[in-house]
Amino acid sequence: MVQVPDPDGSLVDISSGFVAYDDHFCKIRGESPSLEILLENNSYDFAHEAGVFIESTNELFITSARLTDQSGAQRVQISKIILGECESRKPAKQEEIESESILMGNGGVNYGDGILFCAQGTLEKPSGLYEMKSHPPYNVRPVITNLYGRQFNSVNDVVIHSDGSIWFTDPTYGYEQGYRPRPQLPSQVYRYNPTNRSIRAVADGFGHPNGICFSPDEKTVYVTDTDRHHGSGVNDDSKASTIYAFDLVMRHNEPSLSDRRLFAFADNHIPDGIKCDMEGNVYSGCGDGVNVWSPGGTLIGKIVVDGGAANFCFGKEGEIFILNESRIWRAQLGRHVRGALLRI
């Protein structure tokens, strides 16, 4: 039995893994919600970040937590998860992918017929964004690896606007964790236009900008600040564990962010990966699972998994794949629920 705190501080027992603080979440989770372990690998934390669902092949691309070999070198493993068939109970399978170009991979997003991965880089190789095809031989090409010659810190998460522009976050976790050089830039959010290859910073003032997503109408940008968790592993409860919202507006025919505001504060650890559904509800991976807020910023429910979730992604018809380090969970919400990214 799982116990989670009610807003008044008392504990609520949840046996199904779903807790509702508002009637609207009851509609989201539907009449027959389910939560199951889809795949488990106890040899290493294979399911940490990215979470990119490919509908055409029913596959999921993920990145592992940081791994350290016997020499002390750090790396991240990219994997493809073949999800199997629920009807026939065919099990999911993990396939490790060799990709030497995507160093210390982290967040990712669907990009054409492939995936756009964040490569955090190493002491010798730069951080940046790389496109990888979603089919063998998984060809990789760099998309952007610097800001007019200045190296990024350790690019963390990325999302694509409908106009084709690429928005991404760049905190200093790589330097703090010992695999990137001293920062050459502040912790910022960037917009890259692949058509004319222009790039600019669009938001600053973060401790550690992390997850990023758009509302379904693309009028709002959400950015998580995970400053509570320092790369050294030290947590400071006085630092941000916060989701900020910005209005996306046009100024002088250029997209800009305005009206920065605190959207929500995560009560358990930090809000890492972030997504919206088509109704504008905001989901984020936190220390107790996936937390869900209304478009106005009220916590309406949680999908509780032991150990929490750094990231997750929507599948189709109300599926959510939750990355839980050594396990991948499949949550089934109401089949009317659609993720705003793929809208399926």
pLDDT in tens, the chain (344 residues): 455 566 665 444 454 899 999 999 999 999 999 999 999 999 999 999 999 999 999 999 999 999 998 888 899 999 999 997 655 567 999 999 998 899 999 999 999 999 999 999 999 999 999 999 999 999 999 999 999 999 999 999 999 999 999 999 999 999 999 999 999 999 999 999 999 999 999 999 999 999 999 999 999 999 999 999 999 999 999 999 999 999 999 999 999 999 999 999 999 999 999 999 999 999 999 999 999 999 999 999 999 999 999 999 999 999 999 999 999 999 999 999 999 999 99
| Cα dihedral 284, 59, 162, 102 sign | positive
Helix, strand, coil percentages (3-state) for the chain, rounded to 5, are 5, 45, 50
Distance CA 32, CA 9 (A): 28
Q: What is the pLDDT of residue 12?
A: 47
Find where tokens 């949550």 sit.
Answer: 331
Instruction: Return all residues near 268 (Cβ < 8 A) that are at least 6 apart.
Output: 286, 287, 288, 291, 308
Q: What is the CATH T-level fold of the domain 15-332, as seen in this structure?
A: Neuraminidase (2.120.10)
Taking the CA atoms of 141, 341, 291 and 43 in sequence, report the sign of the dihedral they define. negative
Eight-state DSSP code of residue 25: H
Residues 6 or more apart whose Cβ sits within 8 Å of residue 227: 206, 207, 208, 236, 239, 240, 241, 242
Rounded CA-CA distance 53/65 in Å is 19
Distance CA 322, CA 341 (A): 16
Query: What are the residue ranges spanned by the domains of the chain?
Result: 15-332
Which helix (H) or strand (E) segment holds residue 24: the answer is helix 23-29
Q: Residue 223 carries which side chain, given as an amino acid letter?
A: V
For 114, counting Cβ atoms within 10 Å of its Cβ (0-12 exposed, 13-18 middle, 19+ buried), the class is buried
**Integer angstrom CA distances of residue 44 from 136, 180, 223, 236:** 24, 23, 29, 27
Backbone angles phi and psi of 28, in degrees to 5: -65, -45
The predicted structure's pLDDT at residue 13 = 43
φ, ψ for residue 342 (rounded to 5)? -105, -20
| pLDDT at res. 7 | 63
List the structure tokens of 64: 């592992």
Residue 171 · residue 183 · CB < 8 Å: no
- Give residue 87's pLDDT: 57
Q: What is the pLDDT of residue 89?
A: 61
